[in-house]
Structure 1
Amino acid sequence: MPLSSINIYTLKQIRTKRHRYDLEDYPITSPLTCYKVLQFLLDLNSEPGRVELQYATLKKRTYALLKFGIISLNTRNKIVGIHIIGTGSLDQLYIEPREVIMAAMMNNAKAIIAFHNHPSGDPEPSRDDIFLTRRLKEAGKIMCIELLEHLITGEWNYYSLREKGFI
């Protein structure tokens, strides 16, 4: 009987950046505080593939590209990781729920907060945004990772899909 070969792979996580921050003054208790934390932690105007700290409060934003990411939370809803899953064009970005769940699992997350910006400045969700939210909720349920929120940021404000009943 001929022998066949089997490929064996090892998955290694590479941390691209590590930042120290203290969020005790910014507990995520509502969509507004989530929005403030996102503005504190991430510069959504940065170049593709870069995540930078931003120590600014709410201010006018001009987005160049659509960016989608998640905040991974542990069993006590403390932040254990932030992932930018993808960067798209002005109005398009394709995200698979498996990419989101894989990123959450890398941090052993119990829950996630999904977020993305709308380069147009208008945070109103598209049909695709609502469809993705429902798919993320279903995928998370299967893997025991709760989708707590999906926040869309605009030029001056945000849209909470949880507040509007989509989660």
Structure 2
Amino acid sequence: MDGDSGRPFGKPELVGAAGTAFLPVAAVVAAGVEAALPWWAVAGPAVLTAGLAGWAGVRIARRRAVRREVLEPGEKVLGTYTVRPPYREHTPPAAHEGPQYQLVVTSRGLQLWERSALLWRHPWPELRVLVDGPRLRVHHEGRETGNMLLEPAGAAQEVRAVATRHATG
């Protein structure tokens, strides 16, 4: 569960809700019009879809806001990659929750997130980043901090390339 779930909606949450709900609601309405259903038969599913998609949009916007807050002045996000769970028996998250673990690559270093919780963050000069087949291996202060499979395919090589460019910074 994401933090701050009890705080009131702000502009980013409302924009996230509206943006996330627009296409699903439009699809429901279009399907109803195509099937020549009366407006009252389309309104119920459209409202339900708007509510669920809007709720998901608020959660996404709040997660993004939490992640933006930890960025240092001038730090830019260069990429975000889904980290596959370490065990096959791990239950995949529900679609509305998004990926459980994500690696955020910034201009200053790497961050590993579990939804809205920052697990670790290390600057480029302190990291040694290796690619071992499809796996990304991250070493910090002589210890392996992470050994992970990233999605999409080729993401480990992308992160390694960014690490090579920024390691001396």
Say yes or no: TM over 0.5.
no
> Which has the higher relative contact order, 1 or 2, with Cα contacts under 8 A spaced 6 or more apart?
1
| TM-score (structure 2 length as normaliser) | 0.22
Bigger radius of gyration among the two: 2
Structure with higher strand content: 2
| TM-score (structure 1 length as normaliser) | 0.22
Structure with higher helix content: 2
